[in-house]
Amino acid sequence: MTQTTASSASSFPLPDVFSVALIETFERAQPSIVQIRTAGHGAGTGVVWHPDGRIITNHHVVARDSAPIQVLFSDGRTLEAKVVDRNPRLDLAILKVKGDNLQALPAGDSSQLRIGELVFAIGHPWGQRWVVTAGIVSAISSVKLADDLTTQYIKSDVRLAPGNSGGPLLNADGNIVGINAMIFGGDLSVAIPSHVVSKWLAGLPRYRVTLGIEIQTVALPDNARQLLKRESGVRVVGIRPDRKANNLNDLLIGDILLDVAGKPVKETASLLSVLAQSEERKSLSMTILRDDKIVTVDVATLIVER
């Protein structure tokens, strides 16, 4: 009996140590992981990247520009958020919230990941909050997204579901090695490597150009469609307080933006792309459909720190 008890006891330390380490990893990470809500519903997950309130998530989680965004923290706080930058091709977005005592998770070096390495995901699948799943790295693949863009993805057997998008993939040390993006065929989950996220963030200018408006893609009226030989434009559906505070009255609710800085804007993503390339310009020339008339106006921009 004594020998059996001793043998049983000696077989448990490793699983027990692993379990304790996983619990500690989760407890450290949980305050940095948020549930992102749009239009009152849980849409995905985000992770606090910097204590100043910057949160990383997927672009597709917050793709609707006109939808209000809220983030729910594990301590019960719900804060309003706004998108300060996005990269639809990489499926990344940066949100910004104003709050105290925000804890950021450290980013690990995803370029050092090895096949077979243990990884964890924390998110909100199907609206269930702060669910932990575990798996191993199955592959690290390069994917050509366009002629000018090739990027990497981490594939693993970590279990993901709708609601996990935008949450962190963590290594055994509890550092971010990826941002979970989707499920890739069968049971393979895909994450954007943390070094890809860091490289994108490092390439962003300190200041960004914004218009201070809420927008949505709309179909053009028949007359404009025939004249311009295009199907859609971007309508102004709201004027934000920061634009009103600066008495910038050159845009009106209902205006449909057709061209900005000489480039056509057929949907919200193309407008955001033009703004990202505007190099902190104080005004932009725009062609606008207003009251069924096509007019050209110089529109003042807002330059804000990221």
The per-residue pLDDT for 53 is 94
DSSP run (H or E) holding 24:
helix 13-29
Query: What amino acid is encoded at 200 in this protein?
Result: W
* Segment 175-184, tens digit of pLDDT: 999 999 977 6
- Catalytic residue ranges: 60, 91, 165
Residue 2 has pLDDT above 60, yes or no: no
Domains observed in the chain: 14-97 (2.40.10.10), 110-202 (2.40.10.10), 207-305 (2.30.42.10)
Residue 4 has pLDDT above 50, yes or no: no
How far is it, in rounded angstroms, from Cα 258 to Cα 265?
6
* Segment 137-169, tens digit of pLDDT: 999 988 776 677 788 899 999 999 999 999 999
Are 55 and 97 in contact by the 8 Å Cβ rule? The answer is yes
Count of CB atoms within 10 A of residue 81's CB? 25
How far is it, in rounded angstroms, from Cα 165 to Cα 62?
11
Alpha-carbon distances, residue 270 vs 88, 184, 276, 289, 298 (angstroms) = 10, 27, 10, 17, 19
